[in-house]
Structure 1
């Protein structure tokens, strides 16, 4: 009995110490829903076929019965760090907002989000590989594209992408700058969007919003972190010198000013994921 209680307590502590999720589960699932609404029927069929290999992944505690669940699978793995810790660096590629952006920086051995997008595209497209391996690549691709579009997974001010900056969300305390963006701000931006973000986009919209590649996407997030997130959090140019604050307020004015950019990032992530899935799964014809 004592042993079982100790095991349960250890599991609870592991869950409590899990790092914040980029865009939170809701943001990642919304990205997946946008993608699924914009891929070809052939791609949707291929996704459904790959999902049937779920049991072979050996992660019964992290289900993958849909593209939405696949998009959060990589974060769920953090509860079993002894097995998956080598993947934890695949979620981000933070770079100093006050130095030029370099997509090759902070990516030793391909252990960063941009390199893993490129790697998993290739695995997913390779039909000679086992279905379970391609399904894992599908999950990583869905998750990593979402991560790369979160500004604080690219921009950093020597504060762990905002994790070390205590922040109030409006008048609500107890958060940090990173968790403000991937939690309540993301949820508000998605749920209040008009028209809804999850919908079928026109060919013209897809061409405009799904453009670029990983270097462009990372640079976009890095620039938003510098020009919007840190600038508003600090109420000044974050690169103008002086000691950066470690405690900030993300005011109602900051919230309203951020929502259009946040919605655009989630939409771009979904449409870019759709583009990659069609390319990898042979569903280019619409």
Structure 2
């Protein structure tokens, strides 16, 4: 029993780390899928743009690969004096208890859906200095991942589940958002068969790499509304009856695995398509 509780304590300590804030594993997986599925020309362009990394002057957040780029926007948040203006770009918080509205919670373009579209345009603009295009590459890579994390889009006045204390199975002390960013994503990605990071067939790309940015946001919102909140609360809590503590049960953990895997796959292949369009 002591060994079990030591394991639980280690799990809680690991998943609660800000470095996992989709956590780093999820974002890096999205980037790795994209890099495997872009054209050779796009891959070469990405590596060329990454050479502008010294001009960023962010030595605490080095970027050598697209996987590094995928976590850079979270890393630089530790320097609030310089990057605080980017904080609202990571999410949108559209209520699951009202009709979907892509314009909600996005004043002056300060939301994840608007920033995906903005940074795709900046990346494609060859008139811009190399370091600005590199920033756009990193933000685009990260925000496509964020847009596919359901609790970065759908929420119920609880900051995307951040206000909901939650246990992950028998592991206590987390919140609902952290569970989906960290341990749930890690469980799903690590157990995927076939592995998520691979070359996908033309048929798979045709299935997953579809839709507009608005469509992608709506999908995440629907996952929150139709699966995630009911799985956490037993119902969609739209009558003011949302508890402030839930248990993300072992059954919910298992049911969420294919949902998470599909969100990651869609994000990676859609990112690959956007990169090909911007850099092709």
- For 1:130 and 1:30, the matched residues in 2 are separated by 28
Deviation beyond 4 Å, 4+ runs, structure 1: 16-20
Report if aligned partners of 1:226, 1:238 keep a CA contact under 8 Å in 2: no
- 1:100-119 to structure 2, matched below 5 A, reads 100-119=99-118
SS at match of 1:174: strand
* Equivalent residue number for residue 11 of structure 1: none
CA pair 24-74 structure 1, distance change in 2 beyond 3 A: same
- For 1:224 and 1:70, the matched residues in 2 are separated by 27
Deviation at 1:20, TM superposition (A): 6.8
- For 1:118 and 1:180, the matched residues in 2 are separated by 28
Report if aligned partners of 1:103, 1:218 keep a CA contact under 8 Å in 2: yes
* Cα deviation 1:148-200 (Å, max 9, x = unaligned): 00000011111110000000000000100000101000000000000000010
* Equivalent residue number for residue 250 of structure 2: 252
- For 1:102 and 1:18, the matched residues in 2 are separated by 30
* Equivalent residue number for residue 50 of structure 1: 49
- For 1:139 and 1:119, the matched residues in 2 are separated by 12
* Cα deviation 1:38-95 (Å, max 9, x = unaligned): 0000000000000000000111111110000000000001110011000000000111
- 1:1-286 to structure 2, matched below 5 A, reads 21=21, 23-239=22-238, 241-282=239-280
- For 1:207 and 1:213, the matched residues in 2 are separated by 14
- For 1:265 and 1:124, the matched residues in 2 are separated by 24
SS at match of 2:229: helix
Equivalenced residue count is 265
SS at match of 2:139: helix
Deviation at 1:238, TM superposition (A): 2.4
* Cα deviation 1:1-40 (Å, max 9, x = unaligned): xxxxxxxxxxxxxxx996972x100000000000000000
* Equivalent residue number for residue 13 of structure 1: none
Report if aligned partners of 1:190, 1:197 keep a CA contact under 8 Å in 2: yes
* Equivalent residue number for residue 7 of structure 1: none
Question: TM-score, normalised on structure 1?
Answer: 0.91
Which structure 2 segments of 5+ residues have no match? 1-15
Report if aligned partners of 1:70, 1:139 keep a CA contact under 8 Å in 2: yes
- For 2:19 and 2:278, the matched residues in 1 are separated by 30
* Equivalent residue number for residue 12 of structure 2: none
* Equivalent residue number for residue 9 of structure 1: none
Deviation at 1:218, TM superposition (A): 0.5
SS at match of 1:236: coil
Report if aligned partners of 1:124, 1:138 keep a CA contact under 8 Å in 2: yes
- For 1:275 and 1:168, the matched residues in 2 are separated by 37
Question: TM-score, normalised on structure 2?
Answer: 0.92
* Cα deviation 1:98-151 (Å, max 9, x = unaligned): 101111111111111011111101110011111111000000000000000000
Which structure 1 segments of 5+ residues have no match? 1-15
